[in-house]
Amino acid sequence: MLTPDPTFPPLLTGHPAPASADVFETACAEAGAGRFSAGDLVWSRRTDVVSLALVLEPEVPPDRAVEMLFLAMVAANDALGAITPPETALTFLWPDVFKVNGATVGHVRLATSDEVDEDGAPLWLVVALDFRLAPLDGPLEPGETPDRTSLIDEGAVDLDRTQVIESLSRHLLTWIHSWDVDGFAPVLENWLFRAEGYRGPHAVKTAGGVVEGTFLGLDEGGNLLLKRDAAAGGDTLSLKLNEHLTSHSLEASEA
């Protein structure tokens, strides 16, 4: 069955990308060349995954651009909550991973221009959302891939790519408006509410090995604050966001 193209709210302009293209790389390249600006949204014609990348031009300094990463995750949670069965409850794994029932179902990516305008804001920002809609290797028995899942595996059997993209685009605009009016605090509150390990024991893989402690929250740069127990020194670590961000597509990140 042919999947119809999505339609977008008036503030967004959709640009389809072939199934072989990475929408994140495409959006970054077009924004960097000056051909795309705020509101241009690249979406993939693939039907087994949901992949879109939105160009923004927020009038904030570069250190605040990271707020869009957490905003996109909160918006995606609301978007999927509106169109999936009630049991499809997403959680967030810092800094950019979506999980359902403990298995990875997607992630978010972020990039900003190296150049800034006269007010010190990046010339452009791209935030991308990637979700696995159907199992990459075809139908699998439950438990065959315990570390990853798909929306269909988790009960959203009636969804198609277009429905998800349309819902994501609407909720992104809603949360961008909220952020513009109320600031980052509501975004952070909603993100932490769904964050795995928040205010409890948490382990994070780092270049130097796994570190464990109590997940206290995030600082203004999106870095994770982890308080180690007394046996490990009792200090509070700030795990750097930019050292843990995903930069590749869903499949490349799992290779």
| Mean per-residue pLDDT, 34-44 | 98
* Helical (H) or strand (E) element with 217: strand 209-218
Q: Which of 145-154, 174-183, 235-244 is the least confident region? A: 145-154
Between 26 and 255, name the one with better pLDDT.
26
* pLDDT tier for residue 42 given thresholds of 50, 70 and 90: very high
| Mean per-residue pLDDT, 32-55 | 97
**Considering the chain, what percentage of its residues have pLDDT values greater than 90?**
82
Cα–Cα distance, 74 to 36 (Å, whole number): 25
Two tokens, residue 139: 């139908």
What are the tens digits of pLDDT across the range 98-140? Answer: 999 889 999 999 999 999 999 999 999 999 999 999 986 655 4
| Mean per-residue pLDDT, 223-252 | 88
Q: Phi, psi (5° rounding) for residue 223?
A: -75, 145
* pLDDT tier for residue 154 given thresholds of 50, 70 and 90: very high
Q: Phi, psi (5° rounding) for residue 66?
A: -60, -20
What are the tens digits of pLDDT across the range 168-178? Answer: 999 999 999 99
pLDDT of residue 169: 98
What are the tens digits of pLDDT across the range 218-230? Answer: 999 999 999 998 7
Q: For every residue of 110-130, which 3-state class applies, written as one string?
A: EEECCCECCCCCECCEEEEEE
Q: pTM for this structure? A: 0.93
Let me know: does 143 contact 149? Beta carbons within 8 Å: no
* pLDDT tier for residue 232 given thresholds of 50, 70 and 90: confident
Cα–Cα distance, 166 to 52 (Å, whole number): 10
Complete DSSP assignment for 51-88:
EEEEEE--SS-GGGTTHHHHHHHHHHHHHHHHHS-TT-
